[in-house]
Every structure is written in structure tokens, then in C-alpha cells.
């Protein structure tokens, strides 16, 4: 994934359908995104940080 990518490549990176990213945006969920005209772009750093913030530590490891 490039440092800034489109929703298709971001969906592939997250192993989710593009429709899921669209629903997350509509619900104000998911990773931060940028609008460039009518295009939606995701910064890899934002996606990686969002993933890190959404990790769940099992109790036996905490």
C-alpha cells in the first residue's frame, strides 16, 4: 500500500469489501479518510494507527 491510496487498495489492505469502507464512512466509523474532489483517499499512516488503536488485548496477556 502506498502512503496515500484509494478505497479499493485500502479495502484490500484491510481485507474488507469496498462496501464496508463506504458504510464505515457513512456511519462515521473506520479509519480517517480524505476527500480529493469526489475521490476518497486514505493515508497509510492513518489506517495503521486506526488498526493499532482498535487492537484488543486478551486478558491472559494483559
Encode pLDDT of 2-60 as tens digits. 899 999 999 999 999 999 999 999 999 999 999 999 999 999 999 999 999 999 988 87
Q: What pLDDT was estimated at residue 9?
A: 96
CB atoms < 10 A from the CB of 46, how many?
16
Q: What pLDDT was estimated at residue 62?
A: 60
Q: Please compute, for residue 38, the number of CA atoms within 13 A of its CA located in the half-sphere on the CB side.
A: 0
Q: Looking at the DSSP assignment, which residues form a beta bridge with residue 40? A: 35
**Cα torsion angle, 23, 25, 29, 30, sign:** positive
What is the residue-averaged pLDDT of the chain? 94
Amino acid at each position: 500500500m502506498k502512503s496515500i491510496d484509494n478505497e479499493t487498495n485500502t479495502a484490500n489492505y484491510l481485507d474488507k469489501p469496498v462496501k464496508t469502507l463506504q458504510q464505515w464512512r457513512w456511519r462515521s466509523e473506520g479509519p480517517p479518510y480524505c476527500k480529493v474532489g469526489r475521490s476518497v483517499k486514505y493515508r497509510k499512516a492513518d489506517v495503521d494507527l486506526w488498526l493499532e488503536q482498535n487492537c484488543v488485548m486478551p486478558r491472559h496477556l494483559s
